[in-house]
Structure 1
């Protein structure tokens, strides 16, 4: 893979992860779901896997923010890549703003697999762990 293609893949993966974070924190459920492939799987600790757009939409709608929140995603490393598939690892801290200000609610880690479909990168699998 050429350096320019590699850079394009890395930029596309990071853009999807950042767009997901901002849409989720703003409660834009349809925008979040649009970032997943139709057969995507979301894995969260203590829950059965959430599979497909309908299930993802229901889940993210139920998690829509009721107070200001931020997912601070950092240390994203694209761990493997081709022109049509990439994997990435990221750390995340979830904060909410309450009466006494912002507070960290949890810290975790994402392992993402993304596929390029119709010229756009989409999440195919996200596995989340909490620390």
Structure 2
């Protein structure tokens, strides 16, 4: 794969990660679900995997923000696995604003698997881990 093709894949993957973060912090459930493949999976520590659009929609509705929040995602490393596949590892810090101001509540890492379908990059699997 050419260097320009790899850059195109990395840009597409980073765009999905950013769109997911902004939609989640704004509580736009349908926008989040649209970023996952129809059989996409979300894995969180201590919980059963959430799979498929219906289950993802229900889960993200339940996690809709009740106060201002921000997921700051960075240090993303994208690995192209095929012309229509990639993985990414990103660090994440979750902040929420309370009465005393903004506070970090969670530090973690996303391990994402992507596939391209119909020219669109979609999350196939997101595995979230939390750092102690």
TM range (shorter): over 0.9
Q: Which residue of 2 aligns with 1:33?
A: 33
Whether the 8 Å CA contact 2:89–2:111 is kept in 1: the answer is: yes
Q: Structure 2: give runs of 5+ residues left out of the alignment.
A: none
Whether the 8 Å CA contact 1:9–1:81 is kept in 2: the answer is: no
Whether the 8 Å CA contact 1:115–1:123 is kept in 2: the answer is: yes
Q: Which runs of 4+ in 1 moved over 4 A?
A: none
Instruction: Map Cα deviations across residues 67-125 of structure 1 (whole Å, 9 max, x no partner).
Output: 00000001000033321000000000000001110000010000000000010000000
Aligned residues: 131
Q: Given the two structures, how large is their TM-score scaled by the length of structure 2?
A: 0.98
Q: Which residue of 1 aligns with 2:112?
A: 112
Q: Given the two structures, how large is their TM-score scaled by the length of structure 1?
A: 0.98
Instruction: Map Cα deviations across residues 48-71 of structure 1 (whole Å, 9 max, x no partner).
Output: 000000000000000000000000
Residues of 1 paired with 2:95 and 2:81: CA distance? 31
| Superposition CA RMSD, Å | 0.6
Q: Which residue of 1 aligns with 2:18?
A: 18
